[in-house]
Homo-oligomer: A and B are copies of this chain.
Amino acid sequence: MALADIPIQAMDGGLTGNGRALLIEVADRLARFAAGGEAHVIDLSGLPLSEADRDWLRRELGEGEVHVRLAAAGESILHETAYSGVWWVEHRNEQGRRMSEFIEITRVPELLLAHPDDVILGSERLNHRIFELD
């Protein structure tokens, strides 16, 4: 049975035990990644987590050295957890409401990488700007 199939059944303090199951999955994915395996993304919104589970999981993973704010349409807030290679990624809409949330097991979330097409556009714009300055 997959984690997504387990119904939410709250116990003490709203914890269902699913946060704990997910922590074990994160550890498993991180072990594989550390050994040279693939990066992996876990979509929290697709899982039967209570708000208490989510908070517990977030606390368990803790916060590391890197904090990122990405302002596009709405805002994305990312941080590396206390476990290097595990990132917590939260997307908010323009009203600041949390819309989706992911745990990423990777060296750096893809979202932070400049896209090659944007780099080409940036290069063209910068050349144009220098031409303007002359």
Interface residues of chain A, those whose CB is within 8 Å of chain B, are 20, 23-24, 26-27, 30-31, 33-34, 60, 65-72, 80, 82-86, 106-108, 112-116, 118-123, 125-127, 129-130, 133
Docked CA distance A69–B79 (Å): 10
Give A31 Cβ to nearest chain B Cβ, in Å: 5
Give A120 Cβ to nearest chain B Cβ, in Å: 5
List 6 A-B residue pairs with CB atoms under 8 Å apart, sorted by A's residue number. A27-B130, A33-B123, A65-B71, A83-B122, A84-B115, A108-B113
Docked CA distance A105–B73 (Å): 25
Whether the Cβ atoms of B123 and A30 lie closer than 8 Å is yes
Q: Which residues of B contact A108 (CB under 8 A)?
A: 108, 112-114
